[in-house]
Amino acid sequence: MKRTQIFIVLLFVIFMLMLTSTPFTDPNGVLLDIQKSQVNLETVLIGKFTEYSEPVFIDGNSELHNKTDQGNGTELDPYLITNLNVNAGGVDLGISIQNTDKYLLIDNCMVSNSGEEYESNAGIMLNSCQNVRIENCFLIDNYYGISLYSSSNNFLINNSAIENEIGIDLDNSPNNQLIQNNATNNIHHGIFGWNSSNNLFINNTVMNNYNGFLIRYNSDHNQFINNLVRNNSNCGIDLDLSSQNNQLTGNTVIENAFGVLLEYDSNNNHLINNIIMNNYYGIWLDSSSNSELTNNTVMNNDGGFSLFSSSDNEFINNTVLNNTVYAMYLYFSSYNHISSNFIKNSTYFGIFLCSYSNDNIISRNKISNIGDYGVSFDANSSNNEVKWNDFVNNNLNGDSQAIDNGTNNIFDYNYWNDHINPDSDNNMIVDTEYIIDGTALSTDSHSRVNSDKQTTTMGTMATEDTNTTTTPSTSSGYNLIILVSFVFILAFRRMKNRD
């Protein structure tokens, strides 16, 4: 490699390390290590690169045996392709492997300039391959940094795909593992999956792309664990077009437009213990149902949870803090279960249901310090239940902490901190009804005297974590009417212009 090239790459890598090594305090006061998946300086820059190696093309196990450096193709002694510096000349593949199932290790290679105009161009391409391990490689200025087509049981570990059209691509490729890769500054997507299932994504850093993860079209049973997804201009993690039964656990998703997006029949997904913060929209469900969202921290976004035409989802034990406009917004979304969540400090709305959001259950939540109403129903929302919640210091300039303009909505056994007496018979129920604002003339006839923080047969009451620390939102606030308007939100979505 020319000395100037090495110097430029070194400066870039050092810059990326500096950019992502600054720790921040998560909502539980634990320092997160943003520097999870960075370029291995020793292997990338000090490795024994050859000057401008020719592109590598291998088709079949026999060519794999004839064209690789060493090894015999077994798991313990794989064939080796190592220490190459391939400039593909703008029109070609850098390293192309197809129709192999022998064990192969591609290690410590730099591949650049395969071309950004054609989807067939990739730094490293696996086509119908198994048992390939790609490690410590640096991919820059390609259409795909690494592309897997109809390939399974492969490992991608500690690679950096930077400034490509798409960083890492899985197309019809199941049962692969992507661990500790860095997909940064790619024009379209950091990691893209199409009809690819049962893959494992662990400890990857996906930053400064248009979309971080875009996983589409029947991509099922994938696991996303402990990934850092930051500052992508559209979506952090997008499960799209019937991508179902995926699990997102322990991911940190910050400073994107949409933090996590489930859309177009992406059902039965599980989001557990994720941190979603400083996005415009935290978690957004569009036409996606039967998902479980549990123990997530959703904070410092403009909108916390947003549901559009999404039903039968469960939101349990989430912490929803400091979201500028609303904590939860439901539009044409029914039969959802919202339980035992801690909801606090939204400027306008706590839980807002509108446009035929019916038959939802809101129970055992603690809703506090909401600028407007803690719970709101518009004229077209009916048959919802609001029971056993705690309402504290919401709508301080009004007469009630909730409003109901709908039909047959039920408020019962809630605690309202502005209505705790009289209780002349000491049955822990206030003698008079709590009046709910709105045209429905609803009341809570069994409003409780005390806040309920105990486990009962009805479930567990959400309680505030005393260790919680908050930071100001970096997202700018929107005008109330514009943001809660469905017309505006759909218009915003149309502007995404995704591939």
Tens digits of residue pLDDT in 253-273: 999 999 999 999 999 999 999
Residues 6+ apart with CB under 8 A from 62: none
Residue 236 predicted with pLDDT over 70: yes
User: Do residues 278 and 414 both lie within one domain?
Assistant: yes
Per cent of the chain over pLDDT 90 is 77
Tens digits of residue pLDDT in 163-197: 999 999 999 999 999 999 999 999 999 999 999 99
CATH label of the domain that carries residue 428: 2.160.20.10
How many domains would you assign to the chain?
A: 2
Residue 168, in any domain of the structure: no
User: Do residues 137 and 11 both lie within one domain?
Assistant: yes
Helices and strands counted in the chain (H then E): 5, 49
Last residue in a domain, options 120, 147, 174? 147
User: Do residues 24 and 120 both lie within one domain?
Assistant: yes
Q: Which domain holds residue 452?
A: 210-484
Tens digits of residue pLDDT in 346-403: 999 999 999 999 999 999 999 999 999 999 999 999 999 999 999 999 999 999 999 9
Tens digits of residue pLDDT in 321-355: 999 999 999 999 999 999 999 999 999 999 999 99
Tell me how far apart the alpha carbons of residues 462 and 98 are, in angstroms, rounded to a whole number: 54
User: Do residues 371 and 256 both lie within one domain?
Assistant: yes
- pLDDT of 195 reads 98
- Considering the chain, what is the average pLDDT of its residues? 85
H-type alpha helices, 417-499 = 480-484, 486-494
Predicted confidence band at 91 (pLDDT cuts at 50, 70, 90)? confident
Residues 6+ apart with CB under 8 A from 441: none
Count CB neighbours of 269 within 10 A: 24
Residue 195, in any domain of the structure: no
Q: Which residue in this structure is represented by tokens 């709105």? A: 438
Last residue in a domain, options 123, 147, 171? 147
Of the candidate ranges 15-19, 63-67, 125-129, 286-290, the one whose mean pLDDT is the lowest: 15-19
Instruction: Please indicate whether residue 490 or residue 343 has the higher confidence score (pLDDT).
Output: 343
Residue 176, in any domain of the structure: no
Residue 492, in any domain of the structure: no
Residue 78 in 3-state DSSP?
coil
User: Do residues 250 and 345 both lie within one domain?
Assistant: yes
User: Do residues 118 and 227 both lie within one domain?
Assistant: no
User: Do residues 94 and 223 both lie within one domain?
Assistant: no
Residue 444 predicted with pLDDT over 50: yes
Tell me how far apart the alpha carbons of residues 215 and 242 are, in angstroms, rounded to a whole number: 10
Tell me how far apart the alpha carbons of residues 214 and 432 are, in angstroms, rounded to a whole number: 53
Residue 93, in any domain of the structure: yes
User: Do residues 387 and 276 both lie within one domain?
Assistant: yes
User: Do residues 279 and 390 both lie within one domain?
Assistant: yes
User: Do residues 279 and 369 both lie within one domain?
Assistant: yes
- pLDDT of 333 reads 98
- pLDDT of 52 reads 78
Residue 172, in any domain of the structure: no
Residue 280, in any domain of the structure: yes
Pairing of strands 402-404, 375-377: parallel
Last residue in a domain, options 128, 147, 166? 147
Residue 15, in any domain of the structure: yes
User: Do residues 344 and 464 both lie within one domain?
Assistant: yes
Task: Please choose, from the candidates 319, 250, 339, 296, the residue with its C-alpha nearest in 3D space to the C-alpha of residue 466.
Answer: 319
User: Do residues 120 and 218 both lie within one domain?
Assistant: no
- pLDDT of 400 reads 98
